[in-house]
Amino acid sequence: MTNNLYETPIVAVVLTEQGCAVAEKLKPLFGGFEIHGLQSRVAVADQFFSDALTHFQQLFIKNRSIIAVCSTGIVVRALASKLQNKHDDASVVVVSEDGQFAVPLLGGHFGANTIARIIAGGLNGHAAITTAGDVRFGIALDEPPSGWTVANKSAAKKIMAGMLAGDNVTLKVDAGDAGWLRQSSLPIADNAPHIIHVTDQVIADAGDELVMHPPSLVLGVGCERGTDADELIQLAMTTLSDAGLSPSSVAAVVSLNLKEDEAAVHDLAKKLNVPAGFFDGATLEAETPRLQNPSDVVFAEVGCHGVSEGSALAAVGKNGQLIVPKQKSSRATVAIARGQGNLDGRSIGKQQGKLTIIGIGPGTDAWRSPAATQAISQASDIVGYQLYLDLLGDLTIGKNLHQSQLAEEEARVRAALDLAALGNSVALVCSGDAGIYALATLAFELLDVENRDDWNRLNIVVEPGISALQAAAARIGAPIGHDFCTVSLSDLLTPWETIKRRIEAAAMGDFIISFYNPVSKRRRSHLMTAKEILLAERPANTPVILARNLGRTQETVRVIKLKDLTIDDADMLTLVMVGNSQTKWIERGAGRWVYTPRGYAKKMLGN
């Protein structure tokens, strides 16, 4: 089992509000993570627990990397009985509540040391690294820099033990830049008893030699539209194997920008756990003199004489070289190039742009889903109405913010699409749920109507949120326990006669109905018209829920009778929910509740 920072999900466990504040500061450093808080002491968290020792044990057993913002003693007592061995135990880092110290308690060489260093750097604190190799030589051979992999970690342990005992080590470099090893305090000498071999070749029988694979290769790929991912992956892995090259040395998968939305290319990159980068046709055409297999047919189709070879060469630059020319399957091509030194896959070519359209809920962090929080944390740019950006609080730290006025919805969505088309990861935030009277619909409508190539190639994801409808219902009981509908009373985009017909239909169908945008400064009569329509079909004492500023400090939730509803009871920050003919308003103990029966009474007491 391999546990490290990149393969194991991180959870921050906090026991106090101060600890929660520290965890929030750490979120952007790791691209977001869940915060689990002690129920009696923490107000806002992604998940709550009541027993700290049991919760630590459950996370540890599930192999989650843990950042524990609390005392070391609590974590030691919780996990002591659950320890197995260093290769199977999850990474655990304890952080002091003032953020000054990060202690990698378990899994130091399997991610914890790296996590501790990141925390210390982000909080200007100290990483209390105690593993012998790190202390003596400043590095851990079994935990190389990002992009590097160790082929045989058992050899790393033996060599580190030998160096701690006074032995020297020989450094043999065939590919990549091993400067991080040379600049360390390792006792490097010729003809030493131990060997560290840096290579992008597969070494079948390394013995006690430590084999490290640097990020020195790129896979250039091309394929027909809709090529099966298995075909491209099989071609790529076979090409690497036939050339004796290690997949662990591949820094990126690259192709023509027309393939930014090609699933097979992204599946190959995911298989190799590397980024996918893309180049425009002009950039690839500039590589024509270096191609081994230029094609006029390819040029006629896409504007360059070679996709797989051209993208591989563009990725490694003028000092790199093509080491495996184009290999073909029935619908795909692959070529391999080697760069001079180490390659940073994240900076190669243009990444596929990502637009995540996010419902952040009515207002409170507690009603924002962990998936929404993670998407916002991972975004480079956040687009939204200023109020919604304000509601995100510290999640916006370090992000590029793009705000617009409330009525500028189209400009907001266009800005988000354009930013994503540049290769950015963009979060377009809406209150409530993004697909309920919000911007997800407008984004897809623009995509449909304009049919722009750069927008069509985006990776678009919609993350749901709790709607005002759900929040209002939860605050007052269970008023939408039976069939319900929603109607927006705003006639800016929908003719009033259409809205009126829908209200009449909902009234005749005895639907519970929630009115969004009930009253504005300009629009003063629609809610009263809706009231009259509903009074013709249901009792005058039908409960009406008036929920304003849900999830915010100014929140109010009132219940009145339908006959008493006036224009002054609502504004644009209010959701008006009208029960159906069966909806009940009850008082039990100190509670006042509204619910709509669903028919269970027929089953009660044998009825």
Spatial CA neighbour of 488 closest among 468, 511, 461, 516:
516
Helices (H), 422-536: 439-450, 453-456, 468-476, 496-508, 526-535
Give the percent of the chain with pLDDT over 90.
68
> Mind listing the pLDDT tens digit for each residue in 90-102?
889 999 999 999 9
What pLDDT sits at residue 137? 63
Mean of the per-residue pLDDT values for the chain? 91
Q: How does pLDDT run across 408-425, given as a tens digit for each residue?
A: 899 999 999 999 999 999
Question: In whole angstroms, what is the distance from residue 287 CA to residue 263 CA?
Answer: 25
At 139, list the tokens: 């590095």
Q: Tell me: pLDDT of 495 over 60.
A: yes
pLDDT at 160 exceeding the cut of 90 = no
pLDDT at 4 over 50: no
Residue 359 has pLDDT above 90, yes or no: yes
For residues 290 and 314, the answer to whether their CB atoms sit within 8 Å is: no
Inform me whether the pLDDT recorded for 268 exceeds 70: yes
pLDDT on residue 605: 54
Reply yes or no on whether the pLDDT at 606 is more than 60: no
3-state secondary structure of 55: helix
Q: What is the pLDDT of residue 146?
A: 81
The whole-number pLDDT of residue 1 equals: 28
**pTM, to two decimals:** 0.76
Q: What is the pLDDT of residue 3?
A: 35
User: What integer pLDDT is reported at residue 141 of this predicted model?
Assistant: 77
Tell me the C-alpha to C-alpha distance, in Å, between residue 288 and each of 218, 301, 314: 18, 15, 10
The CATH label, of 3.40.50.300, 3.30.200.20, 3.40.50.11220, 3.10.20.30, for the domain at 10-130 is 3.40.50.11220
- Residues 6+ positions from 409 with CB-CB distance below 8 Å: 439, 442
Q: Give the pLDDT confidence score for residue 30 in this predicted structure.
A: 87
Q: Compute the distance between CA of residue 566 and CA of residue 577 in angstroms, rounded to an integer.
A: 14
**What does the alpha-carbon distance between residue 476 and residue 378 come to, in Å, rounded to a whole number?**
35
**Please, what CATH class does the domain formed by 469-595 belong to?**
alpha beta
Band of pLDDT at residue 165, cut at 50, 70 and 90: confident
- DSSP annotation of 481 reads S
Question: What is the reported pLDDT for 126?
Answer: 87
d(CA 41, CA 50): 10
Query: Per-residue pLDDT tens for 540-596?
Result: 999 999 999 998 889 999 999 999 999 999 999 999 999 999 999 999 988 899 999
Rounded to an integer, the average pLDDT of 277-296 is 96
Sequence-separated (6 or more) residues with CB below 8 Å from residue 338 = 175, 200, 216, 217, 316, 320, 321, 323
In angstroms, the CA 223 to CA 327 distance is 12
Summarised one tens digit per residue, pLDDT across range 234-253 is 999 999 999 999 999 999 99
Q: Cα separations (Å) of 30 from 5, 8, 36?
A: 9, 12, 16
Could you report the per-residue pLDDT of 43-96, keeping only the tens digit for each?
888 889 999 999 999 888 888 899 999 999 999 999 988 887 666 678 899 999
Q: Are strands 321-328 and 332-338 parallel, antiparallel or unpaired?
A: antiparallel
Tens of pLDDT, residue by residue over 216-234, are 999 999 999 999 999 999 9
How sure is the predictor about 185, in pLDDT bands with cuts at 50, 70 and 90?
Answer: confident
Torsion of CA 523, 524, 527, 531, to 10 degrees: -150
Give the lowest-confidence range in 176-180, 390-394, 469-473, 603-607: 603-607
Question: What local confidence, expressed as pLDDT, does residue 2 receive?
Answer: 34
- Using the predicted structure, report yes or no on whether residue 607 has a pLDDT greater than 60: no
Ramachandran quadrant class, 273 (left: phi over 0; alpha: psi -120 to 50; beta: rest): left
For the ranges 27-31, 306-310, 545-549, which has the lowest average pLDDT?
Answer: 27-31
Domain boundaries of the chain, sorted by first residue: 10-130, 149-213, 217-347, 354-466, 469-595
Looking at residue 132, its pLDDT comes to 55
Rounded mean pLDDT, 535-539: 96
Q: Is the pLDDT of residue 129 over 80?
A: no
Please identify, in words, the CATH class of the domain defined by 217-347.
Answer: alpha beta
Residue type at 273 in one-letter notation: N
Q: Which tokens is 366 given?
A: 């507690």
Average pLDDT estimate for 136-142: 68
Cα separation of 462 and 240, whole Å?
36
Architecture of domain 354-466: 3-Layer(aba) Sandwich (3.40)
What whole-number percentage of the chain has pLDDT above 70? 95
